[in-house]
A = this chain, B = another copy of it.
Amino acid sequence: MRTIFYISDRTAITAEALGHCLLVQFADLNFKEITMPYVDSREKIEAVVERINQVARREAKKPIIFTTLVSPMIRQIINNCNALVLDPFDHFLGQLEAELHTKPLHEKGRSRRISDLDKYDNRIGAINFTLAHDDGAATNYDQCDIILTGISRCGKTPTCLYLALQFGIRAANFPLTEDMLNGETLPCLLRAHIDKLFGLTSDILRLHSVRSLRRPGSDYASRDQCRFELRAAEGLFRLHNIPYVNTSTHSIEEIASRIVHDRKLKRKYAHGG
């Protein structure tokens, strides 16, 4: 067991992402993860260093620290603790400064600029749109960027919400119902927007288990029903050349990124934290 600290003067989201990305390369080991955001003063960093040094003594192993601390003064303090400190600012900021011929802002860079994503219309607008267009509720698809479709419990709603929150994408979703599957036909509404469609599927056991949580012992959750619906849905996707992804083996991040990539969607960019 090894203790990992994610330390930032802001949200620590970047430090976490960086750490997770690297630590998955050592997947056989066990890690205990601790996130410490908003470490933005000398007092706070000194308390953090004390805690790190305690862990190092107790576990007789150096903790591993991922940091995105902006202030050089605070970075210097943490570099003296009894830990392996992995700091992308130390490594990359100097290289960026040399290439861009511009001094970094340091402390001042902490203050917030409104990113493209954070502009109200882009992000909150996309979330409101997505909630209003969940599960076939509203269907004015001219203004939407993507329409996810698939049978019940394949992840349409969570994926749409992720696309809206993370990328500012207006994502609708529309359920494939049994009459469409039996008739092997897509409704006109979807055929009119065929270039915006993206299919989600699952596998039989996963779908059976997820539907069983919702309605235990029902026909809806039975393996036979899951098998029939999955095969029919994939048949429809292939018939209409709709790209699709099996959500049972991918995280929401992976599914959403795949959709943005395959459908060449325009994304809004956030700032790091």
Contacts and interface: CB of A to CB of B under 8 A. Distances in A.
Contacts of A60: none
Interface stretch (A175-183, A230-238, A252-260): A252-260
Number of copies of this chain that the complex holds: 2
A62 to B, nearest CB: 6
Contact of A261 (B38, B106, B162, B251): B38
B20 A271 contact: yes
A210 B119 CA distance: 12
Given A33-B269, A165-B162, A14 B25 contact: no
B95 A28 contact: no
Contact of A22 (B21, B96, B123, B269): B96
Contacts of A58: none
Contacts of A26: 96, 100, 102, 104-105
A26 B113 CA distance: 12
Nearest to A105: B25
A25 B21 CA distance: 23
**Residue of A17, A21, A86 ringed by the most chain B CB atoms within 10 A:** A21
Contact of A267 (B35, B95, B158): B35
A14 B10 contact: no
A254 B10 contact: yes
Given A109-B24, A273-B253, A161 B17 contact: no
A64 B102 CA distance: 14
Interface string A112-135: 110101101001100100010000
A134 B162 CA distance: 17
When A and B form their complex, which 8 residue pairs have the shortest distance between CB atoms, in order from nearest? Answer: A21-B272, A20-B272, A11-B257, A25-B104, A14-B21, A14-B17, A25-B109, A17-B17
